[in-house]
Structure 1
Amino acid sequence: MPATVGPGTVVALLKERAQTVATAESLTAGLLAATIADVPGASTVLRGGLIVYATDLKATLAGVPRELLDRCGPVHPDTARALAVGARERCDADWGVSLTGVAGPTVQDGVPVGTVYCGLACRAYDVAVRFEFDGDRSAVRAAAVAGALAELARAVRELSPEPGR
Structure 2
Amino acid sequence: MNSPATEVVRLLTVKGETLAVAESLTGGLVAAEITAAPGASQAFRGSVTAYATELKHELLGVDAGLLAARGAVDPQVAAQMAAGVRKALGADWGIATTGVAGPDEQDGKPVGTVYVAVDGPAPGLSDGGKVASLRLNGDRAEIRMESVRSVLALLLQELAGEQTGNERAQDTERNGGF
Q: TM-score range by the shorter chain?
A: over 0.9
1:44 CA drift (Å): 0.6
Match in the other structure for 1:53: 51
Residues 119-128 or 56-65, more deviating: 119-128
Percent identity among equivalent residues?
A: 41
Match in the other structure for 1:114: 112
Provide the aligned length of Structure 1 versus Structure 2: 162
Matches within 5 A, 1:64-83: 64-83=62-81
TM-score (norm 1): 0.92
Provide the rounded CA distance (Å) in 1 between the counterparts of 2:59 and 2:50: 7
Opposite residue 16 of structure 1, the aligned amino acid is: V
User: 1:66-124 CA deviation, whole Å, 9 max, x = no partner?
Assistant: 01111221000000000000010001001000000000011112111111100110145
Opposite residue 144 of structure 2, the aligned amino acid is: R
1:24 CA drift (Å): 0.5
Q: Which has the higher contact order (CA 8 A, sep 6+)?
A: 1
TM-score (norm 2): 0.86
Q: Which stretches of structure 1, 4 residues or more, deviate above 2 A after TM superposition? A: 159-164
SS at match of 1:22: strand
What are structure 1's unaligned runs of at least 5 residues? Answer: none
User: 1:17-70 CA deviation, whole Å, 9 max, x = no partner?
Assistant: 111110000000111011100012100111000010000000001111101111
- Which structure has more helix as a fraction of its residues? 2
Change in CA separation of 1:27 and 1:163 when aligned onto 2, cut-off 3 Å:
farther
Match in the other structure for 2:90: 92
Structure having the higher Rg: 2
Opposite residue 137 of structure 1, the aligned amino acid is: R
Q: CA RMSD in A?
A: 1.8
8 Å contact from structure 2 (residues 4, 156) kept in 1 = no
